[in-house]
Amino acid sequence: MKLHEIGERRLTYGVTDRFSIPFDDCAWMDAGDDYLLVTTDMVGRKTHFPEGATFYQMGWYAVAVNASDIAAKGGTPAAYVAAMGLPRNLEERAYRELLEGMGDCMEHHGGVLVGGDTKEADDIIMAITALGRVKKNELMKRKGARPGDEVWVTGTLGRGGAALLEHDMDALLMVEARVKEGRVLAASGSVTSCMDLSDGLAASLHQLMKINACGFKIYEGALPVDGRAQKREDARELVLYYGGDYELLFTACKGSMEGLKHRMQVTKIGEVMEEQRVLLIADGSEEEMENRGYEHFR
């Protein structure tokens, strides 16, 4: 069987099964009163950056997607290691621009570059490893959702998909990782599960369903649709099935978020149920939310 027949998520499940590790945004390891958070994400010009993306935007994005994984754990970024494959005919100014984007993103989200590696490659590939910290009693995992919990998201949905289709590189690549929001949520003690929305709402809910052995009832009328997506006829598709929003999707104890809504933009979009299905409720009717979204190798 070829990799394009398997898809990224099934490949990832193979790794977690083989090495007995959680299927989560990043790893956590004992560091005294805290957990040390470790995550890595690899991006390439061919797969992640549409024509017209600047090298500065590429550098920012490569760091931001890693900071987003730290945010989903409730942590604070502390350090980064960068491994870069670069074509031999790349202009030095482009390389410097990549570094500027990376550095500015680190200054914005927290953490510093502490090392890395450069190698010759056919095209630009950047593998960033981010390190962070979180108090042990504040760690937010993907596993922990329970029937009766509420389902919430930060920010708005559909921005990433609309930006991609409209070829707006700033909106697509200058990602704002929700580090501050993640810290507020983690400190609240109310969150029962959390992940970032890189692959789309539907795909993320199906992942949480598999991990938590429970289902979700999502109310379409409650979804916070981004203003850019609202203007498009395909808004529903962008909100449900396109990735790139990098908001936090989380479950919380019933009623526990009311005191936090004034501190950040969050929206209740549904509830956790026992039956392992992902249902979309609209105008009194319900339909199955398909298990699809962005997936490498597909």
All structural domains of the chain with their residue ranges? 25-137, 140-288
User: What is the CB-side half-sphere exposure of residue 67 using CA atoms within 13 A?
Assistant: 31
Average pLDDT of the residues in 109-120: 97
The pLDDT value recorded for residue 87 is: 97
Domain 140-288 in the same topology as domain 25-137: no
Q: Is the pLDDT of residue 186 over 90?
A: yes
The predicted structure's pLDDT at residue 23: 73
Residue 253 has pLDDT above 70, yes or no: yes
Question: Considering the entire predicted model, what is its pTM?
Answer: 0.94
For 119-130, the pLDDT digits (tens) are 999 999 999 999
* pLDDT tens, position by position, 9-47: 777 766 777 876 677 889 999 999 999 999 999 999 998
User: Which comes out higher in pLDDT, residue 47 or 101?
Assistant: 101
Q: What is the pLDDT of residue 212?
A: 96
* Overall average pLDDT of the 226-232 stretch: 94
CATH architecture of the region 140-288 = Alpha-Beta Complex (3.90)
> Mean pLDDT throughout 164-190?
97
Mean pLDDT of the chain: 94
**pLDDT top residue among 12 and 178:** 178
pLDDT exceeds cutoff 90 at 4: no
pLDDT at 8 over 90: no
pLDDT band at 184 (very low <50, low <70, confident <90, very high): very high
Q: Which residue has the higher pLDDT, 188 or 293?
A: 188
Binned at pLDDT 50, 70 and 90, residue 238 comes out as very high
pLDDT band for position 164 (50/70/90)?
A: very high
* Structure confidence at residue 283 (pLDDT): 86
Q: What pLDDT, on a 0 to 100 scale, did the predictor assign at position 297?
A: 59
4 vs 161, which has greater pLDDT? 161
Share of the chain above pLDDT 70, in %: 96
CATH topology of domain 25-137: 60s Ribosomal Protein L30; Chain: A; (3.30.1330)
What lies within 8 Å, CB to CB, of 132 at 6+ separation is 26, 36, 37, 39, 70, 73, 75, 76, 77, 78, 111
